[in-house]
Amino acid sequence: MEDNLFGQDWEIEPAGGETGKAFVAIHEDEKFFLKKNSSPFLAALSVENIVPKLIWTRRVENGDVITAQKWINNGQTLTAKEMREPRVARLLGKIHQSEALRDMLQRIEKKDYSCFHLLEKVTDGIGNLNPLDTKVSEAYRYLLANVDELEEGRHVVCHGDVNHNNWLLSEGNELYLVDWDGAMLADPANDLGVLLYQYVPYDEWDGWLSEYGQELTRAFYTRVKWFSICQVLMAMNWQFEHDRKPELARLEILLKKIMEDNEVYATLCE
């Protein structure tokens, strides 16, 4: 990468992450975040100030496309507690409500996933998970039993992995949502459900969703629970295939919490 894009005075270092495609380029007072083969959707996200500013995009000799983004000095990922804050809800609402982002992703990615398509993905990997925990079988049966009656919301741009490590706060208090490799068009409950169950106490759901722009109704709760289970089972299969036992154990606990959730439903039935 150095020979194609930078002179010898630049220092290129891995930036971490699971894909091995992210790097940091450093030279004196200049610093960029580099990534190989990011989606063209990154440019639209930059314009909307959802991600740090895109500086340039270049194709190198081997065919890889390298993107350079503004480096966020002293940037901090959000803590689990900070995910409860209104600014998180408002930024996710901005993303989900953006017609410009929706139109752009629809043109360039062609990833529009219905509940039936997502259920197929779960089914493909359920054989790996069934021996792990009886909750897995129970959760899969729940998806099958409820998919035909599920009333999907209008498909919007979904990030696909809104855990707290993908939220970046600059020292100027600007909030970004990064790592968009899994972006897709789908029911917004794909993002909202797991976020709510992981980070937001039940008695704060109504207020958090109000900041996001959604009323907590029984119909919406049904979507949240269904898509949460779907997302967790897909994530569990990925962790299983990559032999990541601690992460798999954490997801098993989350799945149990979702399956045993009666508190939100009971409140909505009052």
- Contact at 8 Å (CB) between 60 and 66? yes
Catalytic residue among 161, 181, 206, 261: 161
DSSP string, the chain: -HHHH--TT-EEEE--SSSS-EEEEEETTEEEEEEES--THHHHHHHTTSSSPEEEEEE-TTS-EEEEEE--TT-EEPPTGGGGSHHHHHHHHHHHH-HHHHHHHHHHT--B--HHHHHHHHHHHHHHHTTT-HHHHHHHHHHHHHTTT--PPPPEEE-S---GGGEEE-TT--EEE---TT-EEE-THHHHHHHHHHHS-GGGHHHHHHHHT----HHHHHHHHHHHHHHHHHHHHHHHHTT-HHHHHHHHHHHHHHHT--HHHHHHH-
Burial class (CB in 10 A: 0-12, 13-18, 19+), 147: middle
- Cα distance between residue 177 and residue 165, in whole Å: 9
- 161 catalytic per annotation: yes
Residues labelled as active-site residues: 161
